[in-house]
């Protein structure tokens, strides 16, 4: 009997130990990381961090296409000032402005040469209004250029330059030798020059996109024919006056040679005396 109890006690202890070891293996299995996952982590290459936050405030990123619109139009009008006033009113309604304004008068015509800057979204409507209400259209040329790709590329390059600039500033802060400081400062100077160049180009493109340009010429013909040339009598009189001026100029030229004229006169009048002296000497 005591042996049976001893065997039962040993069996219960073994079962209890087995169950505890099984539970511990299950708990460890919950937190176990496979070996292949560890190898995968070891093979990952470190790449430059990619920011998911909003772009730097110095970089202007705008959605949508970037289209630069330009055009030129020439009109022949019946009343120049009235046509100019119409253009003034239309431009004011479109919130545009004159970039250049020039008045010309030549031959049988007077004209205004105008350079208009108009908000891009109102460019097409302004063209239609001017075309139908200013005068007789003589020529028209409208063109559009898509600069979206260039704009996006410039903004990406600018963002990268700003990131590199921050890195080099951090390196400069930690630099110890004079050589390191000078080298890093030179790199910073070059990056800042590139940043300023890209900012200037982006600003230029933004201005050209937001405000379209229209070259407008308004011309009034004062007479239908160009004035005829001078009459025959006037031409004869002009020719006579020119002849007199040429003769007087010739006389002035002769007077300027008076010493040579005196010598020539003495030689002519004293020729006989000189010849007599020569004969006597012979």
Strands (DSSP E) along 181-225, which ranges?
A: 211-221
The pLDDT of residue 34 is 35
Residue 28 has pLDDT above 90, yes or no: no
Pairing of the two strands 67-76 and 136-146: antiparallel
pLDDT value for 281: 66
Give pLDDT, residue 48: 39
pLDDT of residue 245: 75
pLDDT at residue 258 in the model: 66
More confident residue, 28 or 15: 15
Sign of CA dihedral 154, 159, 160, 164: positive
CB crowding 17-54: b at 16 or more within 10 Å, else e: eeeeeeeeeeeeeeeeeeeeeeeeeeeeeeeeeeeeee
> Could you give the angle at which helices 123-133 and 80-93 cross, rounded to 10 degrees?
160
Contact indicator for 195, 162 with CB cutoff of 8 Å: yes
- Percent share of the chain, pLDDT over 90: 41
Residue 33 has pLDDT above 60, yes or no: no
Please answer whether residues 96 and 85 qualify as being in contact, where contact means their C-beta atoms are separated by less than 8 angstroms: no
- Positive or negative CA dihedral for 189, 192, 196, 201? positive
**Of 20-34, 123-137, 190-204, 225-239, which has the strongest mean pLDDT?**
190-204
**Top-confidence residue, 193 or 37:** 193
Spatial separation of the C-alpha atoms in residues 76 and 113, rounded to whole Å: 12
Q: Which tops the pLDDT comparison, 175 or 194? A: 194
Q: Say yes or no to pLDDT of 32 above 60.
A: no
175 backbone dihedrals φ, ψ, rounded to 5°? -65, 145
pLDDT band at 231 (very low <50, low <70, confident <90, very high): low
State whether residue 233 is helix, strand or coil: helix
pLDDT band at 239 (very low <50, low <70, confident <90, very high): confident
Res 60: pLDDT = 45
Q: Percent of the chain having pLDDT more than 70?
A: 65
* Environment class of 251 (CB within 10 Å of its CB; exposed 0-12, middle 13-18, buried 19+): exposed
Higher pLDDT, 203 or 34: 203
Q: How confident is the model at residue 2 (pLDDT cuts 50, 70, 90)?
A: very low
Q: Residue 107 has what pLDDT?
A: 80
Strands of 109-119's sheet, edge to edge?
Answer: 97-106, 109-119, 211-221, 67-76, 136-146
Q: How far is CA 229 from CA 46, 202, 232, 235, in A?
A: 86, 55, 9, 10
Centroid of chain to Cα 24: 73
Average pLDDT, the chain: 75
- Locus of tokens 């079962």: 15
Report the alpha-carbon distance of residue 187 to residue 7 in Å, rounded.
84
pLDDT of residue 41 exceeding 90, the answer is no
- For the chain, first and last CA: distance in Å? 194
Q: Which of 225-229, 264-268, 274-278 has the lowest mean pLDDT?
A: 225-229
Rounded CA-CA distance 213/180 in Å is 50
pLDDT digits (tens, 9 = 90+) for 184-194: 899 999 999 99
Output the pLDDT for position 21. 46
């Amino acid at each position: 009997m005591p042996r049976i109890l001893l065997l039962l006690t040993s069996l219960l202890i073994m079962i209890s130990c087995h169950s505890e070891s099984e539970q511990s293996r299950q708990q460890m299995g919950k937190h176990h990381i496979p070996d292949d996952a560890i190898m995968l982590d070891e093979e990952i290459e470190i790449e430059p961090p990619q920011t998911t936050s909003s772009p730097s405030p110095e970089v202007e990123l705008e959605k949508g296409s970037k289209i630069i619109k330009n055009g030129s139009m020439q009109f022949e009008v019946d009343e120049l000032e009235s046509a100019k006033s119409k253009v003034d009113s239309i431009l004011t309604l479109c919130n545009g402005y004159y970039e250049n304004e020039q008045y010309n008068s030549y031959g049988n015509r007077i004209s205004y040469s105008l350079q208009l800057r108009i908000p891009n979204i109102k460019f097409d409507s302004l063209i239609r209004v001017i075309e139908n209400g200013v005068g007789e259209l003589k020529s028209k040329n409208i063109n559009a250029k898509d600069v979206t790709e260039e704009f996006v590329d410039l903004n990406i390059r600018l963002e990268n330059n700003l990131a590199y600039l921050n890195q080099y500033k951090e390196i400069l802060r930690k630099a110890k030798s004079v050589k390191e400081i000078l080298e890093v400062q030179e790199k910073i100077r070059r990056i800042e020059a590139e940043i300023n160049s890209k900012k200037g180009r982006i600003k230029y493109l933004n201005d050209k996109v937001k405000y379209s340009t229209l070259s407008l010429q308004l011309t009034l013909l004062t007479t239908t024919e160009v004035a005829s040339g001078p009459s025959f009598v006037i031409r004869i009189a002009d020719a006579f006056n020119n002849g007199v001026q040429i003769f007087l100029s010739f006389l002035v030229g002769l007077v300027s040679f008076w010493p040579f004229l005196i010598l020539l006169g003495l030689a002519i009048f004293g020729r006989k005396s000189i010849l007599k002296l020569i004969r006597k000497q012979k």
